[in-house]
């Protein structure tokens, strides 16, 4: 493993980096954040350490807020009740924690009484067994029992057969109510779902008997074969609603949906070629690309995208759009939501403004409902009880809010009695202990109700969820009994050991569909999927070991790891990943790929962008080259702004103080930069005094001269 900064300063207490950075990083830092082999001697007293793989081998054993990843904190506190991490983190994490959040092999002793636990793979082996609303993942709440269950992995195998509000995912609710009128699910969910539902929302083969009269149906692919031909609120996707109403005024769909959609709709929402006759007077139209060529010029609620509403109202007070939308949008709108150059004169008094970048330069200073981003609402109300925001939003946000949702330093005084609190990091330190609807993260609802039947959240949810689901879809070792006949099964790692062996459209993840169809030409999957996937597909898209025989003639092939061993050798626009296109075109000047792509890619391209072993002959004169691993061995040696990745720019400028790159970039980069940002073998002479250095693998081989320990894989050893 590459080591970064073998001599990095040992006085830096705020260092943030990646892989083998700062072997001697400060032993006193209590906020250190890094990645892999960072700070082998990092402080043993840090109570807020965050890192990744082999970080902080001596990290504090008393930390109750430790967050990390793989082999982090081998001695992490055994008393922490809020630990959040990943793989082999906190081997001694508290066995009594009722709010634990983690991942794989985390908290081997996690609380056996938690009724709200939500985690991932082998988390909470003893998690509580009484939750009726558990939502989680892999081996979480094996005995949970619910009539409202929403989740994943062995969740609610015995979920109520009478639930009328069930929402779930494949293999969930084998007995779900046959009378539900609000069911929302996915693949083979609700085999008995109500045939009269007027609000059904689902996905693929959902609601085989779904109402033929529904006027509010929302679904996806082959949903509602009998869906109402008179629905005025239909929302769907691809081949949905073959008889969808030609008079609908609220239709929302996608591709070839609503061939006869109303020409008078004032609420139409769609996508591509939807509503060829959509109303020219609609004041609520929401769409995308070539939608509503005649959309109302007076709409006050228009929401769209690109070339939508060329005449959109100049007085709209609710307009929502994107790029070139509403050239005359209202200057008085108090509800405007948009993006880039939207509402140059947006109201300065809006109390509901939601936007992005240069929106609402004068946004109201009294808004109690403000939601935004970056420099929005510098004076946002200090009394808001519904505030939702991000970065420097609501510095004075209400201390009594019972609905506060935010991020970072939001609501320092948020209500301690909220029963609906949703947030993140330091939100609701006193959040209600009686909430039955709590949704959140980190220190949220330490005493949240154990009897809630509508609970949606995370950590310690549903310790006793049911174990007999025949439609389960989850993660790692989930669904040992999943259906062996499903031809549309979608899952994740070790899901569906008996999944259908005849599916030609199977989509899944790791060890899914061991017998998936060998003739599929459109197969899409992930890791070890489709061992026999079609060898003739010219459009195959997959992941790791997918399509061992994928087409050798495709010039547009896009895939991932070991895909297309014979992919076209003449493609000049090929885009792929790992071992894709071993013969990809050697003349392409715009080639974009990944790992082992384009061994012969053009040696003259000055704009080449790729990844690992791409463009061994890429241009040596480019001063703006951007690539990845083994790209541009001859890239320009004079660029002071070069940005690349691994083995890029071996001769990049040695004087740049702002250089940003990745692995083997800028071997001569400036030795005095205190703000240098790069990755692997970047800045061999990077400053030895920088206290803000951020990098990755083999960065700063000559950084700080205070190191007394040789790196594991020092290139000059």
Q: What is the pLDDT of residues 38-57, one digit of tens each?
A: 333 233 233 333 333 222 33
* Three-point CA angle 377, 381, 386, nearest 5°: 100
pLDDT at 90: 31
Q: What is the pLDDT of residues 335-373, one digit of tens each?
A: 333 332 223 223 323 333 333 322 222 233 233 333 333
pLDDT at 339: 33
Q: What is the pLDDT of residues 21-39, one digit of tens each?
A: 232 233 233 333 333 323 3
Average pLDDT over residues 73-100: 31
Average pLDDT over residues 174-187: 32
Say what percent of the chain tops pLDDT 70. 0
Are 551 and 540 within 8 A, CB to CB? yes
Q: What is the pLDDT of residues 258-316, one digit of tens each?
A: 322 333 333 333 332 233 223 333 333 333 322 232 233 333 333 333 222 322 333 33
Lookup result for tokens 């004079």 = 638
CA distance 371 to 85: 29
Q: What is the pLDDT of residues 490-530, one digit of tens each?
A: 333 222 222 332 333 233 333 223 323 333 332 333 322 23
pLDDT at 120: 32
CA distance 417 to 400: 8
pTM above 0.85, yes or no: no
Residue 689 pLDDT level (bands cut at 50, 70, 90):
very low
**Which residues are CB-contacts of 311 (< 8 A; sequence separation ≥ 6)?**
295, 296, 297
CA nearest 323: which of 308, 302, 334? 308
CA 425 vs. chain centroid, Å, equals: 18
pLDDT at 407: 32
Average pLDDT over residues 115-138: 30
Q: What is the pLDDT of residues 385-443, one digit of tens each?
A: 333 333 222 222 333 333 333 332 222 223 323 333 333 322 222 232 223 223 233 22
CA nearest 614: which of 644, 658, 570? 644
Q: Give the ranges where 324-446 is alpha helix by DSSP (H).
A: none
- Please report, for residues 18, 339, 657, 691, the alpha-carbon distance to residue 673 in angstroms, rounded to integers and kept in the order given: 18, 35, 5, 11
**Mean pLDDT, the chain, whole residue set:** 31
- What is the 3-state secondary structure of 302-338? CECCCCCCCCCCCCCCCCECCCCCCCCCCCCCCCCEC
pLDDT at 247: 34
pLDDT at 348: 29
pLDDT at 501: 29
Average pLDDT over residues 689-711: 28
Q: What is the pLDDT of residues 462-495, one digit of tens each?
A: 222 222 222 222 222 222 223 323 332 333 322 2
Average pLDDT over residues 161-183: 31
Q: What is the pLDDT of residues 584-601, one digit of tens each?
A: 333 333 233 333 223 323
């Amino acid at each position: 493993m590459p080591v970064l900064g073998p001599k990095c300063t040992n006085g830096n207490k705020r260092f943030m980096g990646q892989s083998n950075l700062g072997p001697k990083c400060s032993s006193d830092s209590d906020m250190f954040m890094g990645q892999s082999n960072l700070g082998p001697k990092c402080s043993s007293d840090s109570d807020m350490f965050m890192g990744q793989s082999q970080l902080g081998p001596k990290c504090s054993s008393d930390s109750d807020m430790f967050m990390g990843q793989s082999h982090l904190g081998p001695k992490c506190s055994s008393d922490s009740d809020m630990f959040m991490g990943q793989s082999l983190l906190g081997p001694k994490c508290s066995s009594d924690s009722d709010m634990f959040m983690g991942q794989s092999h985390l908290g081997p002793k996690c609380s056996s009484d938690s009724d709200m636990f939500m985690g991932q793979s082998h988390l909470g082996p003893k998690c509580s067994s009484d939750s009726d609303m558990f939502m989680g993942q892999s081996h979480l709440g094996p005995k949970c029992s619910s009539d409202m269950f929403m989740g994943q992995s062995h969740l609610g195998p015995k979920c109520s057969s009478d639930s009328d509000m069930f929402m779930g995912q494949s293999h969930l609710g084998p007995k779900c109510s046959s009378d539900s009128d609000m069911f929302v699910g996915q693949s083979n969910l609700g085999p008995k779902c109500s045939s009269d539902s007027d609000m059904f929302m689902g996905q693929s083969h959902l609601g085989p008997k779904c109402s033929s009269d529904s006027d509010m149906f929302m679904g996806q692919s082959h949903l509602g074969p009998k869906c109402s031909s008179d629905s005025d609120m239909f929302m769907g996707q691809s081949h949905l609603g073959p008889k969808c109403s030609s008079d609908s005024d609220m239709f929302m769909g996608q591709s070839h949906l609503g061939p006869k959609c109303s020409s008078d709709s004032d609420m139409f929402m769609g996508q591509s070629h939807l509503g060829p006759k959509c109303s020219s007077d609609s004041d609520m139209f929401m769409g995308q690309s070539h939608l509503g060529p005649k959309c109302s010029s007076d709409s006050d609620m228009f929401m769209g995208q690109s070339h939508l509403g060329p005449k959109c109202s100049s007085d709209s007070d609710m307009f929502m759009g994107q790029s070139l939308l509403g050239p005359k949008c209202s200057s008085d709108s108090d509800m405007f939501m948009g993006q880039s150059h939207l509402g140059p004169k947006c109201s300065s008094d809006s109390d509901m403004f939601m936007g992005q970048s240069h929106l609402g330069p004068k946004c109201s200073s009294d808004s109690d409902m403000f939601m935004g981003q970056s420099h929005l609402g510098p004076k946002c109300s200090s009394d808001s009880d519904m505030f939702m925001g991000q970065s420097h939003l609501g510095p004075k946000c209400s201390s009594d809010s019972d609905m506060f949702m935010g991020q970072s330093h939001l609501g320092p005084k948020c209500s301690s009695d909220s029963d609906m609190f949703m947030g993140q990091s330091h939100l609701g330190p006193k959040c209600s202990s009686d909430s039955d609807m709590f949704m959140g993260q980190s220190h949220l609802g330490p005493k949240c109700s154990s009897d809630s039947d509508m609970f949606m959240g995370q950590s310690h949810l549903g310790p006793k969820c049911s174990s007999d689901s025949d439609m389960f879809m989850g993660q790692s070792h989930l669904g040992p009994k999943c259906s062996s006949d499903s031809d549309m099964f979608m899952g994740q790692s070790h899901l569906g050991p008996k999944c259908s062996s005849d599916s030609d459209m199977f989509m899944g993840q790791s060890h899914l569909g061991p017998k998936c169809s060998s003739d599929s030409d459109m197969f899409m999957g992930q890791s070890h999927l489709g061992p026999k996937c079609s060898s003739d597909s010219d459009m195959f898209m997959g992941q790791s070991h997918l399509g061992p025989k994928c087409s050798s003639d495709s010039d547009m092939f896009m895939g991932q790891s070991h895909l297309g061993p014979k992919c076209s050798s003449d493609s000049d626009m090929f885009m792929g990943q790992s071992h894709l296109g071993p013969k990809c075109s050697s003349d392409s000047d715009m080639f974009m790929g990944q790992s082992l792509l384009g061994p012969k890619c053009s040696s003259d391209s000055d704009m080449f962008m790729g990844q690992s072993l791409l463009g061994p002959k890429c241009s040596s004169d480019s001063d703006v080259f951007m690539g990845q691993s083994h790209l541009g061995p001859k890239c320009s040696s004079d660029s002071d702004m070069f940005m690349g990745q691994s083995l890029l720019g071996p001769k990049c400028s040695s004087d740049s103080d702002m250089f940003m790159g990745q692995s083997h970039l800028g071997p001569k980069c400036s030795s005095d930069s205190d703000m240098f940002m790069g990755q692997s073998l970047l800045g061999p002479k990077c400053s030895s005094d920088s206290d803000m250095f951020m990098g990755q693998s083999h960065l700063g081989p000559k950084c700080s001269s205070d190191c007394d320990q040789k790196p594991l894989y020092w290139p000059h050893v």
